[in-house]
């Protein structure tokens, strides 16, 4: 294999790499060339069992350690990830096709941020004391037990770390199943966590499709499920987890609005729209793919956007000059092409892009549609590719109603020079992660997650602690018990 830090087997369980070739083969395809670069084997029932029993066996002793000790291991892993950032970024590029100009700065590094942040918090997780006259109540913040993480393919290192860090900080064990499309990066996260001192069994990675995810979700020994994926998968996983009242975090899809008022800085608004649609070739859940532009600046906006898109550098993702990579898979490329055809068939105006580039790899041009109307398919469904839809609007009141007219509620953004209006509009957006004069920032210190059908729960920030721990309250009576009979 051509990349430097290759995992040595399909699964990582109980502190070591484990193989079971009885599992179906899952080819790993490099999206820039279409070549097969590795193969992993889907977890068999024996592998699933080993992962669950190893995690359960390790969790109690981990929870009994002090938070400071747990945190020290996570922070050491964060340092190791930063030291190995270059090789991990190359692996992320092979796994996903995202260019090194992105992976060097946002993937392993944001994973390290999460491990550092939650490692730092681990020592200060406490309950509280509630005085009730002479009696009192104290609360204990306890781990949930065994958490299952299930990942999407767009940010495999980041997703693995965003789930591992708060889960482990709170004293849980985890079994993580990466997306079958990008199985490699999470294995390196597991390897580094254990090299940093994580006791065996606390973070296990097993491979497979939804057929491996499903039995993890229903297993009675699992206490929590955290999924990053699409809304249709979220519906299935949420329902399956509900059968045994498991805790859930659902980080799902979106069709987020980005509203640009005519007083906005044109250059910043165009930059924001580019970040909101074309980073990672558009494969970002929080993307602002419905760009509402106030009529006064619409033509200027489209002209400048078109100019700036001419400077895109599409090509070899391993070349750091490249800033636009391929779709993650042939399947995803075909899905996106289908939406582009639908946009044209339903009467949207294709401003630029729309075509596949070359025959090697899964490259699509950055694509912009204008005069999109609210009922078109490209206005309503998540495309998850480099396709921006531009809508016209007249008034603030109108755009708020139209922006909220969706089943999704992950993100929303507004560009305006009038900050009062910026806050007023964002306050009315039905979305969990919002931006004023910016787009797609996701620092670990800020809660991240969706409202409406885009999700339940929050990742990152202190809010994530509530989703990986539970409170036990203990009433302590100091005097005699006064019973009625």
Residues that bind ligand NAD (CB under 6 A): 150-154, 177, 179-180, 209-210, 213-214, 217, 228-230, 233, 236-237, 251-254, 285, 382, 384, 410, 450, 455
Of the pair 252, 318, the CB lying nearest ligand NAD is at 252
The contacts of residue 474 (CB under 8 Å, 6+ apart) are: 137, 138, 139, 140
| Shortest CB 79 distance to ligand NAD, Å | 26
Of the pair 125, 250, the CB lying nearest ligand NAD is at 250
Of 144, 196, 145, 203, nearest to 177 by C-alpha is 203
Tell me if residue 459 is catalytic: yes
Of the pair 291, 399, the CB lying nearest ligand NAD is at 291
Handedness of CA 19, 20, 21, 27 (dihedral sign): negative
Find out whether 350 and 387 touch, Cβ atoms under 8 Å: no
Find out whether 165 and 448 touch, Cβ atoms under 8 Å: no
Q: How far apart are CA 476 and CA 131, in angstroms?
A: 10
| Shortest CB 482 distance to ligand NAD, Å | 51
Choose the catalytic residue: 163, 246, 255, 298. 163
DSSP for 179-197 reads -TTS-SHHHHHHHHHHHTT
Choose the catalytic residue: 285, 298, 382, 434. 285
Choose the catalytic residue: 191, 251, 365, 382. 251
The DSSP bridge pattern shows strands 224-228 and 257-260 to be: unpaired
Choose the catalytic residue: 92, 180, 191, 459. 459
| Shortest CB 179 distance to ligand NAD, Å | 4
Q: Which residue is nearest to ligand NAD (CB)?
A: 213
| Shortest CB 110 distance to ligand NAD, Å | 12
Of the pair 206, 264, the CB lying nearest ligand NAD is at 206
Tell me if residue 285 is catalytic: yes
Of the pair 204, 233, the CB lying nearest ligand NAD is at 233
The DSSP element (H or E) to which 475 belongs, if any, is strand 469-476
Q: How far apart are CA 153 and CA 269, in angstroms?
A: 28
User: Residue 473 in 3-state DSSP?
Assistant: strand
Q: How far apart are CA 451 and CA 457, in angstroms?
A: 9
| Shortest CB 136 distance to ligand NAD, Å | 40
| Shortest CB 162 distance to ligand NAD, Å | 8
Task: Give the DSSP letter of residue 314.
Answer: B
Of the pair 255, 298, the CB lying nearest ligand NAD is at 255
| Shortest CB 421 distance to ligand NAD, Å | 27
Where would I find the H helices in 178-255?
185-195, 210-218, 231-242
Q: How far apart are CA 389 and CA 54, in angstroms?
A: 48
Tell me if residue 163 is catalytic: yes
3-state secondary structure 332-385: HHHHHHHHHHHHHHCCCEEEECCCEECCCCCEECCEEEECCCCCCHHHHCCCCC
Of the pair 315, 409, the CB lying nearest ligand NAD is at 409
Of 376, 58, 9, nearest to 201 by C-alpha is 58
Of the pair 280, 416, the CB lying nearest ligand NAD is at 280
Rounded alpha-carbon distances, angstroms, from residue 420 to 238, 292, 336, 341: 38, 19, 37, 40
| Shortest CB 306 distance to ligand NAD, Å | 27
Active site residues: 163, 251, 285, 459
């Amino acid at each position: 294999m051509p990349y430097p830090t290759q995992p040595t087997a399909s699964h990582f369980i109980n502190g070591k790499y484990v193989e079971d070739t009885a599992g179906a083969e899952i080819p790993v395809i490099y999206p820039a060339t279409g070549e097969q670069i590795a193969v992993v084997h889907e977890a068999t029932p024996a592998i699933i069992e080993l992962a669950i029993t190893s995690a359960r066996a390790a969790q109690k002793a981990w929870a009994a350690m002090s938070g400071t000790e747990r945190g020290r291991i996570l922070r050491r892993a964060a340092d190791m990830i930063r030291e190995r950032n270059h090789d991990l970024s190359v692996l992320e590029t092979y796994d996903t096709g995202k260019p090194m100009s992105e992976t060097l700065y946002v993937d392993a590094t944001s994973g390290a941020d999460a491990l550092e942040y939650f490692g730092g918090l681990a020592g200060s997780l406490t309950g509280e004391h509630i005085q009730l006259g002479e009696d009192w109540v104290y609360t204990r913040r306890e781990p949930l037990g065994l958490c299952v993480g299930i990942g999407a393919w767009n940010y495999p290192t980041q997703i693995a770390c965003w789930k591992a860090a708060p889960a482990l900080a709170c004293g849980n064990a985890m079994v993580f199943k990466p997306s079958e499309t990008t199985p490699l990066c999470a294995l390196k996260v597991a390897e580094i966590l254990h090299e940093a001192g994580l006791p065996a069994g606390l973070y296990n990675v097993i491979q497979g499709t939804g057929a491996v995810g499903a039995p993890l979700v229903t297993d009675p020994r699992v206490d929590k499920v955290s999924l990053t994926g699409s809304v249709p998968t979220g519906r299935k996983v949420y329902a399956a987890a509900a059968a045994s009242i498991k805790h859930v975090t659902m980080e799902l899809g979106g069709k987020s609005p980005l509203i640009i008022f005519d007083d906005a800085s044109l250059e910043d608004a165009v930059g924001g729209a580019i970040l909101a649609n074309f980073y990672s070739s558009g494969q970002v859940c929080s993307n602002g793919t419905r760009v509402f532009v106030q009529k006064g600046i619409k033509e200027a906006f489209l002209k400048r956007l078109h100019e700036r898109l001419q400077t895109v550098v599409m090509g070899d993702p391993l070349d750091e000059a490249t800033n636009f990579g391929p779709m993650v898979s042939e399947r995803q490329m075909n899905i996106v092409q289908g939406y582009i055809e639908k946009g044209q068939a339903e009467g949207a105006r294709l401003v630029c892009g729309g075509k596949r580039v070359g025959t090697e790899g899964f490259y699509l041009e950055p694509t912009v549609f204008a005069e999109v109307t609210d009922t078109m398919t490209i206005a309503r469904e998540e495309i998850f590719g480099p396709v921006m839809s531009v809508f016209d609007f007249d008034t603030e009141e109108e755009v708020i109603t139209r922006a909220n007219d969706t089943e999704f509620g992950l993100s929303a953004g507004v560009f305006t020079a009038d900050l009062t209006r910026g806050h007023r509009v964002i306050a009315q957006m039905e979305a969990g992660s919002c931006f004023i004069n910016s787009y797609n920032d996701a620092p670990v210190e800020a809660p991240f997650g969706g409202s409406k059908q885009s999700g339940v729960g929050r990742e990152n920030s202190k809010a994530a602690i509530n989703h990986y721990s539970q409170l036990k309250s203990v009433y302590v009576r100091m005097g005699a018990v006064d019973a009625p009979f």
